[in-house]
């Protein structure tokens, strides 16, 4: 069943080709025409200019982006796949158990600190706390 | 369907030629006549002067703005299109995965910091917190 | 329809000649006679003096203001029209897209800062926050 | 109609000759006899002295004030009329549009500052804000 | 009617000869015998001494005060009358319009300051205000 | 009627010879025997000694006080009468009108200060006030 | 009637010989045996020793006190009688009227100070008070 | 009756021989066996040892204390009796009247201070109090 | 009856041999096996080892403690008995009366301090208290 | 029964092969494709490129991770097993009893500190607490 | 009965062999497999590797721990038994009575401190407390 799980994930039949950002990672990247260029009511250019500006912007944007992804997209995806595999391996088999060990040690040391500060700082602070022990507020 | 989506966006048949700022990006640019020149009740110029001032202002403003956009509008739109394409490519394929990696590392380091400060600073602060443990307020 | 909109605005048939400050830009300019000169009950000048003071003040004020506006009003209106056209062009085609770009970059950098400070400052502050964790107020 | 408005204001038929301070500009100028001289119960001068003091005070005050206003009132009124006309002209045609321009520029600069401080100071302050995140108040 | 008002005020038929301080200007001047000299129960002088002390005090006080007012009262009243007339003239015709002018100028300057500080200090303070954005108070 | 008022006050027929401190000026002067000497329950002297101490104290006190008042009482009363007459004259005819004049001047100066500080300090303080604009308290 | 009052006070027929401290002046002088010596339950001396300690303490205390009062009581009472008579004379005839005079002067000076500080400090403080004018507390 | 009061007090017929600390002066002196030695549940010595420890402790304590009181108790009681008699004499006849005198003087001086500070500090503080006069809290 | 009280206390018939710490003086001394050694679920030693560890621990603890008490218990109990007898004698006959004397003196000195500070610091503080006299909070 | 417990744990029949992180230790390791790469609406690459990027990423990730675990997984698991055994032994048999001993000692020392600070700091702080004993708030 | 209590405790018939940590002393020592190694959903190794990792971890852990306890467990238990016996002896017979003595002394010294600070610091603080005696809050 675990093997089926793995093979199912590398299958691309369930890849959503329209909504390509289901987790909203890059939702802040709003680069549509109306997000970049806008004319308020008191300053309108000639209709012809405005309509062609729209065409120029979208044409330039799509050409550049699609060209870049065709050239380098697959290599980058492969690179990130390998990188995250190594990171996962490192965290699972090395860092998490080390953190476990580290927490046990600091837990003991912390208990020791609590005893010392309760013994030394506690009584002094409790005495100085008497400063606030006679506040009398009379609401007239 | 994705291809249809793209081609539909670069079509300008749905471009609103009247309200050219649907997201209110430049709503702060109020440059109408009544936003710039105004006469209070106690200081009114002759009617003829005021009427012609209105004509001069609007004439000058429209000439300048339309001339400038005709000359340079299309080049600027093309420039911004390419620029935002590169920015989007950079953010999608490089910066976002790097941030993902960076967050995993700082998450581990943060857990480590929490253990140390809980162990060292925690007991001392808890002891000094006794300063406020005997506040007595008597409302007469 | 956009062209009709423009031509309609430069027409002065809808210019209100009486209330010349619809947005209250210069409402603070109260320069009427009773806003400048006033005599309390215990100090009244002779009636003749007071009546002629009223005439002098209004005569002088109207002469000066109307003369100045006749001489320079049209040139000033033309100057402001051109100036605001250039400003609008500059803001619409250059500054607003640059701000868009600038915000995308600072957004990434900000996310990076949040990770670092959450990792470094967060645990220490959370520990020092224990100072206020034992406040005991007894209302007698 | 604007012209009628102007001519109506310079007419003095609606000038109130009794209450000459309708806006209370100089209401703080109380210079009557009972506002300046007063004798308490334990120190009364002879009746004759007190009655003539009243006459002397009012006589001196009225003579001086009426003489001064007859001599200089009209010139001063004319001077203030011209001065306020120039001030109004200056504010309406020059300062108000400049302020408009100035506000557009600072608005852009302000948006830029908000991005930077949100990016740099925001995360640090938010982390230090954890200092107050564990306040525990026990009302006995 | 204004002239009648003036002439009525300089008439002394409505001068209250008994209560000479209707506005309570000098009500703090209590100089009666029982306000100055008093003997408590445990220290009483001989009756003869106390009764004659009363006579001496009142005799001395009345002689001195009445003599001084007879000699100088009228001149002083005349002097104050003229002085307050000049003050009133100065304030009505000169200082009040100047203040009006001064307020118009500072109003413009103030609007300028508001823009600058909103632009420079505003964002920084708003960011530092995040320090107080996570206060959590748990009432046990 | 004013004259009757004066003559009535210098008459001593209404002088209260028993309660000589109607306004309680010297009520703090308690010099009776039981206010000065007292023996608690555990330390009682012989009755004879205590009774004669009472006689000695009262005898000495009355002799001294009555002798001093007989010798100097009348002169002192006369002196205070003249002094307070001069003070009253000085305050009524000179200081009170001068204060009136002084208040008119500072009133104008104050209005001037208000304008300046509203213009200069106002916007800065209003900006720094943003520090407290995002306080969020969550009561668990 | 005043004379009767005086003579009645120096008579000693109403002197309370038992409760010699009606005003509780020396109530803090508790010098009885049970206020000085006491044995808790776990440390009891022999009955004979304890009973004779009681006798020794009271005998010594009474002898000493009565001897001292017989020798010096009357002189001391006479001395205090004369001293308080002089003090009373000084306060009644000299200090109280001087204080009256002093208060009249400081009253005038105070009114002057109020005007100056209202004029100078008032507007500045009122402006700085804007720091606290935008506090916004959101209770979640 | 005063004489009867004295003689009754030096009589020892009403001396409580069992509860020798009616005012609880030495209630903090708990020196019983169970207040000094105690064995918790996990550390019990042999019964014989524990029982004889109890006998040794009480025997030693009673011998020492009774011997010391027999030797020195009476002398000490006599010494304290004389000492407190002198203290009582000193306080009753000398210190209390001096304090009376001292309070009369400081009362006058205090009244003088109140006038001066009300005159000098009062107005300034009242002006600076305007700092807190515009606090606006908006509870969302 | 006092003698019966003493002899009853040194009798050991009422000594509780089981609960030897009725006041809980040494309740913090928990030295049982389960208070010192414990194995969590994931780390269990062989049953034989664990059972014999229990026997070794209890055997060693009982041997040592009983041997030490047999050797030195009685001497120590005798020593503490004598020591506390001397301490009780010292406190009852010397320190408590001295404290009584000391309190009477400081009481007089304190009353003197109160007069001086009420006279000097009181008025100044009361004046500075005006700083908080105009707080105005507007809850929107 | 303890032996059965041990042998049951080393049996792997109850090992969940699908959900391999029941305690959520590594839940922060989200390294799926949609957690790393995402395209917003305005920047879509060609469908072919996007579909093959998905395949490259998953292929690279699975290859790397599985290869690394096959090579080193067993050795690492054995290493961690031994390490945690030694840590458990050390904590159970050495550190926990030492902490027990340490707490008993600091408990005694703490009680000593409490006495000293109550004796020295307590009264001073209680006196300074009088600063807040006369707060009077008048809600108008 | 005390002897029965002792002998019952050293008997091991009531030793719980399964739950060996009834007081939860070492509950923080969680060293099971699922507390140390875990694989999230996106990173699963081959089933064979995961299953054998489980066997290696548990095998290594049990071998090491049981070997160490067999070798050294009994000696360590004996050592801790003797140590805690000596500590208990020391605290019961020496430190607790000394603390009793120490507290009696500091109690007397503390009472002395209270008198001095009440006498010296009390009046000054009470005077300075007048600073807060005129707070006036007006809720609009």
pLDDT score recorded for residue A126: 82
Q: Which tokens belong to H61?
A: 């304590």
Q: Do J107 and I47 touch (CB under 8 A)?
A: no
Quick check: H41 contacting F, CB < 8 Å?
no
Residues of C whose CB is below 8 A from A43: 85, 88-89, 92
For residue range D79-119, list pLDDT tens digits in order. Answer: 999 999 999 999 999 999 999 999 999 988 988 888 888 88
Highest mean pLDDT among B115-119, C12-16, C93-97, J123-127: C93-97
pLDDT score recorded for residue K140: 62
H-run or E-run covering B111: helix B96-128
Q: Do C130 and B125 touch (CB under 8 A)?
A: yes
pLDDT score recorded for residue J140: 63
Residues of A whose CB is below 8 A from C95: none
Q: Which tokens belong to A138?
A: 């009379």
Residue A101's DSSP bridge partners are none
How much of chain G, in percent, has pLDDT values that exceed 70? 89
CA A87 – CA B104 distance, rounded (Å): 9
Q: Is the pLDDT of residue D1 over 70?
A: no
Give the model's confidence band at J97: pLDDT under 50 very low, under 70 low, under 90 confident, else very high: very high
Categorise residue H24: left if φ over 0, alpha if ψ from -120 to 50, beta otherwise: left
Nearest chain B residue to J34, by CA: B97
Q: Which tokens belong to B71?
A: 């000359």
Straight-line distance from the first to the last Cα atom of chain G, in angstroms, rounded to the nearest whole number: 77
Q: Do I28 and J107 touch (CB under 8 A)?
A: yes
pLDDT score recorded for residue K138: 72
CA K53 – CA J77 distance, rounded (Å): 5
Q: Which tokens belong to K88?
A: 């208990």
Give the model's confidence band at G43: pLDDT under 50 very low, under 70 low, under 90 confident, else very high: confident
- Residues in chain A predicted with pLDDT less than 50, given as ranges, are 1-10
For residue range B88-110, list pLDDT tens digits in order. Answer: 999 999 999 999 999 999 988 98
Give the model's confidence band at B7: pLDDT under 50 very low, under 70 low, under 90 confident, else very high: very low
Q: Which chains pack against K, by 3+ Cβ pairs within 8 A?
A: A, H, I, J
Nearest chain K residue to H38, by CA: K92
Tally: H helices and E strands in chain I? 3, 1
Give the model's confidence band at K99: pLDDT under 50 very low, under 70 low, under 90 confident, else very high: very high
Does residue J10 lie within any of the structural domains?
no
Nearest chain G residue to E29, by CA: G104
Give the model's confidence band at K1: pLDDT under 50 very low, under 70 low, under 90 confident, else very high: very low
**Which residue in C89, B22, B72, B93 sits closest to A33, CA to CA?**
B22
Q: What is the CA radius of gyration of chain E?
A: 32
How much of chain K, in percent, has pLDDT values that exceed 90? 31
CA A106 – CA A86 distance, rounded (Å): 28
Q: How far is the CA of B103 from the CAs of A99, D118, J64, K42, in angstroms?
A: 17, 20, 21, 17
Q: What is the mean pLDDT of residues F38-52?
A: 88
pLDDT score recorded for residue I84: 92
Residue B53 makes CB contacts below 8 A (sequence gap 6+) with: B37, C73, C74, C76, C77
Q: How far is the CA of J72 from the CAs of A101, B128, J67, J68, J77, in angstroms?
A: 20, 49, 9, 6, 9
CA J137 – CA I133 distance, rounded (Å): 9
pLDDT score recorded for residue C140: 63
Q: Is the pLDDT of residue H17 over 90?
A: no
pLDDT score recorded for residue K117: 86
Does residue G2 lie within any of the structural domains?
no
Q: Do D49 and E30 touch (CB under 8 A)?
A: no
Residue I68: burial class (beta carbons within 10 Å; 0-12, 13-18, 19+): middle
pLDDT score recorded for residue J6: 46
3-state SS class at F49: helix
CA J36 – CA A88 distance, rounded (Å): 14
Contact between K138 and I137 (Cβ < 8 Å):
yes
Domain extent, residue K120, equals 17-133
pLDDT score recorded for residue A2: 41
CA A127 – CA A105 distance, rounded (Å): 33
Contact between I126 and K133 (Cβ < 8 Å):
yes
Q: What is the mean pLDDT of residues I115-134?
A: 83
Task: Indicate the residue of I36, I40, I42 with minimum beta-carbon distance to J100.
Answer: I36
Contact between G30 and G21 (Cβ < 8 Å):
no
pLDDT score recorded for residue A69: 92
Residues of K whose CB is below 8 A from I16: none
Q: Is the pLDDT of residue C2 over 60?
A: no
Q: Is the pLDDT of residue H7 over 60?
A: no
Q: Which tokens belong to B31?
A: 């440059």
Average of per-residue pLDDT values in chain F: 84
For residue range J2-54, list pLDDT tens digits in order. Answer: 444 444 444 566 778 888 888 888 888 888 888 888 988 888 889 899 999 99
Residues of B whose CB is below 8 A from D89: 43
pLDDT score recorded for residue F12: 63
Helices (H), chain C: 2-10, 47-90, 96-128
Does residue D1 lie within any of the structural domains?
no
Does residue B11 lie within any of the structural domains?
no
**Which residue in C132, C137, D136 sits closest to B128, CA to CA?**
C132
Quick check: E49 contacting F, CB < 8 Å?
yes
Q: Which tokens belong to C109?
A: 């950098």
CA B123 – CA B114 distance, rounded (Å): 13
pLDDT score recorded for residue C61: 92
Q: Which chains pack against J, by 3+ Cβ pairs within 8 A?
A: A, B, I, K
**Across chain B, where does the E strand assignment appear?**
135-139
Interface G-H, measured as beta-carbon pairs within 8 A, has a size of 220
Q: Do J97 and I47 touch (CB under 8 A)?
A: no
Q: How far is the CA of G63 from the CAs of E73, F44, J76, in angstroms?
A: 76, 11, 97
Give the model's confidence band at C13: pLDDT under 50 very low, under 70 low, under 90 confident, else very high: low
Quick check: K45 contacting J, CB < 8 Å?
yes
Q: Is the pLDDT of residue H12 over 70?
A: no
H-run or E-run covering G136: strand G135-139
3-state SS class at J98: helix
Nearest chain H residue to G119, by CA: H127
Residues of A whose CB is below 8 A from J45: 65-66, 69-70, 73
CA A88 – CA K39 distance, rounded (Å): 9
Average of per-residue pLDDT values in chain B: 84
Q: Looking at chain H, how many residues does it have?
A: 140
Interface C-D, measured as beta-carbon pairs within 8 A, has a size of 221
Quick check: pTM over 0.90?
no
Q: What total of structural domains would you count in chain I?
A: 1
Helices (H), chain G: 2-10, 47-90, 96-128
Tally: H helices and E strands in chain H? 3, 1
How much of chain B, in percent, has pLDDT values that exceed 90? 34
Contact between B135 and C135 (Cβ < 8 Å):
yes
Tally: H helices and E strands in chain B? 3, 1
Does residue C61 lie within any of the structural domains?
yes
Q: What is the mean pLDDT of residues H65-80?
A: 91
**Which residue in K69, I56, B119, A28 sits closest to C123, CA to CA?**
B119
Q: Do E39 and G92 touch (CB under 8 A)?
A: yes
Average of per-residue pLDDT values in chain G: 84
Task: Indicate the residue of G31, G56, G117 with minimum beta-carbon distance to H123.
Answer: G117
pLDDT score recorded for residue B86: 92
Give the torsion sign (CA, E104, B46, B58, C5): positive
Does residue E1 lie within any of the structural domains?
no
CA B40 – CA D87 distance, rounded (Å): 13
Q: What is the mean pLDDT of residues B47-57?
A: 91
pLDDT score recorded for residue H94: 92
Categorise residue D24: left if φ over 0, alpha if ψ from -120 to 50, beta otherwise: left
Q: Do K97 and H37 touch (CB under 8 A)?
A: yes
Give the torsion sign (CA, I68, I69, I70, I75): positive
Q: Is the pLDDT of residue K7 over 70?
A: no
What count of other Cβ atoms lies within 10 Å of the Cβ of residue I128? 19
Q: What is the mean pLDDT of residues C61-82?
A: 92
Does residue K27 lie within any of the structural domains?
yes
pLDDT score recorded for residue B83: 93
pLDDT score recorded for residue A11: 59
H-run or E-run covering I137: strand I135-139
CA H7 – CA G58 distance, rounded (Å): 10
Question: What DSSP string runs through J34-81?
Answer: GGT----TT----HHHHHHHHHHHHHHHHHHHHHHHHHHHHHHHHHHH
CA D23 – CA D12 distance, rounded (Å): 18
Q: Do I5 and G44 touch (CB under 8 A)?
A: yes
Q: Is the pLDDT of residue H5 over 90?
A: no
pLDDT score recorded for residue I99: 92
Does residue A2 lie within any of the structural domains?
no
Quick check: H27 contacting G, CB < 8 Å?
yes
- Residues in chain E predicted with pLDDT less than 50, given as ranges, are 1-10
Helices (H), chain E: 2-10, 47-90, 96-128
**Across chain H, where does the E strand assignment appear?**
135-139
Q: Do K107 and H28 touch (CB under 8 A)?
A: yes
Residue G135's DSSP bridge partners are H137
Q: Which chains pack against G, by 3+ Cβ pairs within 8 A?
A: E, F, H, I
Q: Do D85 and C60 touch (CB under 8 A)?
A: yes
CA I64 to chain centre: 27
**Which residue in F107, H119, E23, D28 sits closest to G111, CA to CA?**
H119
**Across chain D, where does the E strand assignment appear?**
135-139
Residues of E whose CB is below 8 A from F24: 38
Q: HSE (CB half, 13 Å, CA atoms) of J6?
A: 16
Closest chain G C-alpha to H114 CA, distance in angstroms: 10
Interface test with A, best of J65, J83, J102 (most A CBs within 10 A): J65
pLDDT score recorded for residue D65: 92
Q: Looking at chain A, how many residues does it have?
A: 140
CA C55 – CA D78 distance, rounded (Å): 9
A with K: touching (≥3 Cβ pairs within 8 Å): yes
Residue with tokens 């605001």: C84
Residues of G whose CB is below 8 A from I107: 28
């Amino acid at each position: 069943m675990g093997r089926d799980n793995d093979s199912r994930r590398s299958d691309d039949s369930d890849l959503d080709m329209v909504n390509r950002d289901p987790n909203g990672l890059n939702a802040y990247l709003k680069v549509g025409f109306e997000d970049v260029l806008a004319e308020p009511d008191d300053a309108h250019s000639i209709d012809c200019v405005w309509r062609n500006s729209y065409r120029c912007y979208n044409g330039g944007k799509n050409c550049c982006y699609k060209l870049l992804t065709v050239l380098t997209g697959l290599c980058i995806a492969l690179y990130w796949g390998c990188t995250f595999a190594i990171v996962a391996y490192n965290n699972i088999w090395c860092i998490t158990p080390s953190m476990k060990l580290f927490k046990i040690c600091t837990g003991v040391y912390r208990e020791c600190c609590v005893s010392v500060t309760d013994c030394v700082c506690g009584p002094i602070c409790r005495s100085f706390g008497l400063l606030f022990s006679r506040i009398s507020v009379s609401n007239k």
